[in-house]
Chain A
Amino acid sequence: MSARDEVLARIRAAARTGAGKAGTASSPAAPSPGPRYRTRSELAGPQLLELLASRLTDYRALVHFASAATLADEIGAALQRRQARRIVVPPALRLPLPSFVTAISDTRPFLSPAGLAAVDGVVTRAAVAIAETGTIVLDGSPGQGRRAISLVPDYHLCVVDAGQVVHLVPEAVARLSAGRPLTWISGPSATSDIELERVEGVHGPRTLEVVLVSG
C-alpha cells in the first residue's frame, strides 16, 4: 500500500474508533448559522485611515497622508529623506517618481537576489490594507510585482489607496484571491527572540514607509 493510501486508511480507521463525542463524522453537516465574529466593518472613511495609520505607526512604520494632488511630492520627499537613488519598481507601477531616482523596472531578465540587495529601495502599490491590525497585503498584481522585490531591498515605500483599506481581517481575506502569492506585511521586519524584546530589522526591509492616498 502506498504511504498515501495507508495514511488515509489510518485516518478512516481512527475516525471509526475516535469519532468525537458528538459523532460528528457520521452526522450530516449542520446548517451553518454564519459566523458570530465580526466580518463587516464598523468604520468608514477618515476613521478607517486614521486607525490604519496609528496601527502602522505602532509597529514603527513611517506613515504619510496624501491626496492625488500631493502624491508626487510625498513620494519625492520620502525618497529624498532616504537618499534613495537607484530603486527597483514593479511593472505598471504608474506612480509619479522624482527625477533624481533611477527606476529599474523588474522585468525579464529579472534582477538576481544579489542585484536586488544592491538597490537603495523598492516602491510598490498594495492589494489590501487592514486597519485594525496595521497590515498591508501585496498579491503580486501589476504595480506590486514579484515577492522578491519587496523583500530583499532594505527600504520599502508602499502606496495604499483609501479604497483598498478595510477594517477587519475577515474583510481582507474575502477581498483577496487565494490563487495569487500573498505577502502580509505589518511593520518592518522584527524579532522578539531575545528576551521577548521587540527589535525592528532582521532579514526583511528594515524601513517600511507608507503613503495613504485619499481623494
Chain B
Amino acid sequence: MTTFLGLPGRPGRPGSRQSPSEPPHAPRGVGHLRAADPFPVAARRALADAQLRRNLSKATTTIRAKRAAVVSELPDWEELRAAGEAIKAATMADLDRYLGQLEVAVTARGGTVHWARDAIEAGNIVTALVQAAGATEVVKVKSLATDEIGLNDALAAAGIAAYETDLAELIVQLGHDRPSHILVPAIHRNRSEIRDIFLREMGDVSPDLTDDPAALAEAARQHLRRKFLSATVGISGANFGVAETGTLCVVESEGNGRMCVTLPQTLITVMGIEKVIPSWADLGVFLQLLPRSSTGERMNPYTSMWTGVTPGDGPQSVHLVLLDNGRTAALADPVGRAALHCIRCSACLNVCPVYERTGGHAYGSVYPGPIGAVLSPQLTGIEDNASLPYASSLCGACYDVCPVKINIPELLVHLRARHVEEARRTHRLPSAEAITMAAASYLLADPGRLAAAQSASRSGRLLGRRGKITALPPPLAAWTRARDAPVPPPQTFRQWWHSQHGDDRGGPAPGDRSDRSDRSDQ
C-alpha cells in the first residue's frame, strides 16, 4: 500500500473559494447531501445508542467475512481491481466523449436522454415525465442518485406518490427514517424493530407477524405485489451505462428492480454522469468486482440490462436523465476526482472502524462512510461538509478493499488540506489550529521553553478526574469536544530524569540520542 499521508501540500487548484469559471456544487436546500449537524456532534449522539452499535457490529462483521471469502476465490482479483481503476480513470479523462456516445446510442434505440445541471432540474424533469405519462404513483427501485437529489420530495410536492420497493428502502420509508448504508439502508434496524415498523405502517399485515426475516420478506412481497402489477411508471438509477451500446444496467437481489424496469409502460432512469463506462466488455470487469465487494456474493441474484426500447418487451417509453449536481466540481480536482470512480459497493463502509461505531446517519449524506467522507464534501463544496474529511482514523482499510482502488486515505488528507487552505483564505482571524501550530513551533524550537511548558502542563492535573480531562479550556477546547485528554503525569520526563540521575547533564549514555534536544538550529 502506498497511501500518501504526508503533510498537506499545495491546494489542488488556485483561486479562492469557487470562482465563476469553476463548475458549481450541488445546490443547498434540496436533496440529501448535507448534514444538519457536523460529524462530531452527530457521532456523539450515535455512540450513545447501544442498540445501534450492536446492530452495526453484527452486520458489518457478517458482511466482512462474506466478502473476504468470495474475494479469495478469484485468482485474478488484483488484476480485476487494476482493470476497474484503469477503466474509471480513462472514463473520467474523456467523460464528455463517452456521455455523447451514450446519448447517441440510447437515442438510436428509441430512448430519450435528458440532462440535468443539478438536483432541482432533475426533479423537474422527472416530475414532468411522470405527469406526461398521466401517473400519480410511481414504483422505485433503490437508487442513491434519486435519494441524493431528494426526488421523492419533489414528486410529493407535485402530488405524485413514490413507492420504494427495495426491502430496506421500504423499511426506511415506512419508518419515516433516513438510509444509513449504501447497500443495506436499514442496517441500523434489527429484525424486531422492522417487525414493529411493518405492524405499525403497512395496514394490510397480519398482527401475528413474527420477526423471522423470511416472514418479514413475505410481508413485503404481499404489500408491494399489487403496486408492481398495476404501476405505469417505474423509476430507477443505474449501476452502469455503456457508452458503446447505450445499455443501462441495474444490479439487485430481490426482483423489485426487475419489476420496476420491466412491467411499467414508462421507465425513467436517473444516472450520475460518472456512471458511464466506455465499452460493453467493461461489464465483464465490473460484474465481477461489484457483487463480491457489496453483498459478498459471487453474483447478485438479478441483473437487468436494457438498451433503449425493445418492441413488445418491457417499457415502450424509456428515459435517461444524466445528472451533474456537483460531479463536475469534483472532476475539476485532479486528486479528488478519483472519488467519482466509486461503484457504490459499500465495502469501505463495512471495514471502517469509524462507520462501524457511528453508523451512517452521523455522516448526514446519502453517501456515508469513507467514500461519503470524500465524495459528499466535493459535491457540496467543502465548507458545507467540512467535518467529514476528518471523520477517519486514516487506517487505510477502505483503500485495501476498494474494488476500483480509490485511495481514500490520500483523498481525505487532500481534502483536509483544501479545507485548511480555504479557511485560511476566507477567514480574517487565524484558526485555533493555526494558533496551536504556531505555539508548538515556538516551544519546540528551544529546549528551555519546552521544559518550562512541560512543567507548566502539570497544572492540567487540576482539571482531570480518574485520569481523564473531558473538557479543556479555550483555545484547546476543540480538542476535547471529540475526545478525552489524558491527565498529565505528576512529573515530566525531564524531572524524572533528574530525580534518577541527579543534575548530571554530562555526556549521554551510549545510544542515547537525547542530546538532539540541545540543538538550537531548528
Residue numbers of A with Cβ under 8 A of B are 2-4, 6-8, 10-15, 17-21, 24-25, 35-39, 55, 58-59, 108, 110, 112-114, 117, 130, 132-135, 140, 146-148, 151-152, 168-170, 172-174, 178-197, 199, 201-205
Q: Is the CB–CB distance between B298 and A14 below 8 Å?
A: no
Between A and B, 11 residue pairs with Cβ closer than 8 Å are A3-B117, A3-B121, A11-B328, A15-B93, A20-B93, A151-B262, A178-B246, A186-B298, A194-B213, A194-B217, A199-B217
How many interface residues does B have (CB within 8 Å)? Answer: 104
Does B229 make an interface contact (CB < 8 A)? Answer: yes
Does B307 make an interface contact (CB < 8 A)? Answer: yes
Residues of chain A within 8 A (CB-CB) of B218 are 201
Q: CB-CB contacts of B47-74 with A at 8 A, as 1s and 0s?
A: 0000000010011001100100000000
Q: Is the CB–CB distance between A133 and B263 below 8 Å?
A: no
Q: Is the CB–CB distance between A18 and B331 below 8 Å?
A: yes
Given contacts A6-B117, A182-B304, A202-B256, contact A173 B184 (CB under 8 A): no
Q: Is the CB–CB distance between A203 and B80 below 8 Å?
A: no
Q: Is the CB–CB distance between B217 and A201 below 8 Å?
A: yes
Query: What 9 pairs across the A-B complex have the smallest Cβ distances?
Result: A204-B255, A170-B284, A178-B245, A203-B255, A202-B254, A133-B299, A193-B168, A184-B303, A14-B332
Q: Is the CB–CB distance between A186 and B225 below 8 Å?
A: no
Closest residue on chain A to residue B12 by CB atoms: A18
Cross-interface CB contact of B262 among A19, A147, A185, cutoff 8 Å: A147
Q: Is the CB–CB distance between B300 and A186 below 8 Å?
A: yes
Given contacts A38-B75, A189-B255, A202-B254, contact A18 B262 (CB under 8 A): no
Cross-interface CB contact of B115 among A7, A148, A178, cutoff 8 Å: A7
Does B34 make an interface contact (CB < 8 A)? Answer: no
Residues of chain A within 8 A (CB-CB) of B298 are 55, 58, 132-134, 186
Q: How far is it, in angstroms, between the C-alpha of A8 and the C-alpha of B276 when the chains are bound?
A: 14
Residues of chain B within 8 A (CB-CB) of A205 are 255
Cross-interface CB contact of B310 among A24, A38, A133, A180, cutoff 8 Å: A180
Q: Is the CB–CB distance between A36 and B184 below 8 Å?
A: no
Q: Is the CB–CB distance between B263 and A7 below 8 Å?
A: no
Residue numbers of B with Cβ under 8 A of A are 12-13, 21-23, 55, 58-59, 62-63, 66, 75-76, 79-80, 82-83, 89-90, 92-96, 99-100, 103, 109, 114-117, 121, 165-168, 171, 184, 186-187, 190-191, 194, 213-214, 216-218, 220-221, 224-225, 228-230, 242, 244-247, 253-256, 258-259, 262-263, 273, 280-281, 283-285, 287-288, 291, 295, 297-307, 310, 312-314, 322, 324, 328-329, 331-335, 337
Q: Is the CB–CB distance between A194 and B194 below 8 Å?
A: yes
Q: How far is it, in angstroms, between the C-alpha of A194 and the C-alpha of B90 when the chains are bound?
A: 37
Q: How far is it, in angstroms, between the C-alpha of A3 and the C-alpha of B115 when the chains are bound?
A: 6
Cross-interface CB contact of B284 among A39, A110, A179, A197, cutoff 8 Å: A39
Tell which of A11, A181, A203 has the most Cβ of chain B within 10 Å.
A203
Residues of chain A within 8 A (CB-CB) of B287 are 169, 173, 184
Closest residue on chain B to residue A6 by CB atoms: B117
Closest residue on chain A to residue B264 by CB atoms: A113
Cross-interface CB contact of A19 among B93, B305, B306, cutoff 8 Å: B93
Residues of chain B within 8 A (CB-CB) of A3 are 114-117, 121
Given contacts A3-B116, A194-B167, A201-B218, contact A187 B301 (CB under 8 A): yes
Given contacts A14-B331, A178-B280, A204-B302, contact A199 B116 (CB under 8 A): no
Q: Is the CB–CB distance between B333 and A181 below 8 Å?
A: no
Cross-interface CB contact of A193 among B121, B184, B230, cutoff 8 Å: B184
Residues of chain A within 8 A (CB-CB) of B291 are 133
Cross-interface CB contact of A13 among B115, B225, B332, cutoff 8 Å: B332
Residues of chain B within 8 A (CB-CB) of A185 are 301-302
Q: Is the CB–CB distance between B337 and A147 below 8 Å?
A: no
Given contacts A3-B115, A146-B314, contact A195 B258 (CB under 8 A): no
Closest residue on chain A to residue B298 by CB atoms: A133
Cross-interface CB contact of B302 among A8, A37, A173, A183, cutoff 8 Å: A183
Q: Is the CB–CB distance between B191 and A15 below 8 Å?
A: no
Residues of chain A within 8 A (CB-CB) of B337 are 14, 18, 20
Distance in Å: Cβ of B215 to nearest Cβ of chain A? 9
Q: How far is it, in angstroms, between the C-alpha of A189 and the C-alpha of B302 when the chains are bound?
A: 7
Residues of chain B within 8 A (CB-CB) of A7 are 99, 115-117, 273, 322, 324, 328
